[in-house]
Amino acid sequence: MTNSSRNTIVLASLFLLTAVGSFFILNRNQKKLDERQKENSKLQVQINNFSSLVANRDSLEAEHELQIFMATQQGKVILQQDNQIVTYDYLLKALNWLGKDIIYDFALSGGDEAKTYNEYVISGKSDYMDVVHFTRLLEYQRALITLEDISLAAENIAHSDTVSFSMILRTHYSDVGVPASSVSYKPMDRSVQEFPLFKAKVWENLPLLEEEETRLIDVELCNMIGISESRVFLRDGRGIIRILIRGDKVLWGHLWKIDYRNGLAIFKLNKYGFEENYILSINSQNEE
């Protein structure tokens, strides 16, 4: 065999080996490339989803805030979490809504095993009506806080409505509730009628008039000589004409209502320990 033939065979063999090796290498690289492309496709889908979430972030946050706002506008809402600090801060917020400064002791007394509420004891001294408004506020506001027990005792202070009080309340909470900071004030339309708590309610003999009360007009000794939509005109026993508007004080009470259409002036008097109506008419002298 000549050298040229031998060289041709060797070169052909090398070419064949190179071709086979290149084929396997290219095939392996193609598989790797396909795998990378699949991974890139999955990553691109994730990037697109993330970009969509980022683009909708503002709308999602607005929706979340709207849900919280709608929840806090309901009649009652349950708090998301509770501890001594949360409830104490809420009580301070309630006193701020009330515009009162009630000093009391505050302590955690327990809770249930299911961890749906915590129980607290608060006690102190305050004006009776301040305690009434405070407890009423806690019951009527949106946060689900229930009063389980309350006790009052009179203080030994003459002519005072100061009481010592003690109450047990429960703050209810759940993971699906709303944050305490999101609970806003709920207006309360109904008012509480104030009255002296420790003053005798009924008496046989009239109490002595205070000096300032003696200067008030006694409507039982007056005649009504004129009336308008906002004023009534009275003549007392000495012939002096007095002009009164709604809410003006009189002896034992105040002018409660002016009924211009029917010519009536209605007074609320508390002469014998209980409140009653006293009516003066433009047509007749007076009537009860």
Read off the pLDDT band of 7 (50, 70, 90): low
Distance CA 216, CA 271 (A): 14
Residue 210: is its pLDDT beyond 70? Answer: no
Whether the CB-CB separation of 243 and 230 falls below 8 Å is answered with no
Mean pLDDT of 67-80: 67
Residue 275: what pLDDT? 80
Instruction: Identify which has the larger pLDDT, 84 or 200.
Output: 84
Residue 200: is its pLDDT beyond 60? Answer: no
Residue 66: is its pLDDT beyond 60? Answer: no
Query: Per CATH, is 84-182 categorized as 3.40.50.80?
Result: no
Distance CA 122, CA 147 (A): 11
**Domain map (residue ranges) of the chain:** 1-55, 84-182, 213-281
Residue 140: is its pLDDT beyond 90? Answer: no
Query: Which tokens sit at 229?
Result: 């939509």
Residue 156: what pLDDT? 61
Mean pLDDT of 9-33: 75
Read off the pLDDT band of 212 (50, 70, 90): very low
Mean pLDDT of 118-124: 93
Query: Which tokens sit at 268?
Result: 């609320």
Instruction: Identify which has the larger pLDDT, 161 or 185.
Output: 185
**Mean pLDDT, all residues of the chain:** 79
For the whole model, what pTM was predicted?
0.46
Distance CA 131, CA 98 (A): 11
Mean pLDDT of 97-103: 86
Read off the pLDDT band of 17 (50, 70, 90): confident
Q: How do residues 239-288 score in pLDDT, each as one tens digit?
A: 889 999 999 999 888 999 999 888 999 999 987 777 889 999 986 554 44
Query: Which of 145, 155, 188, 152 lies closest to 167 in space, CA to CA?
Result: 152
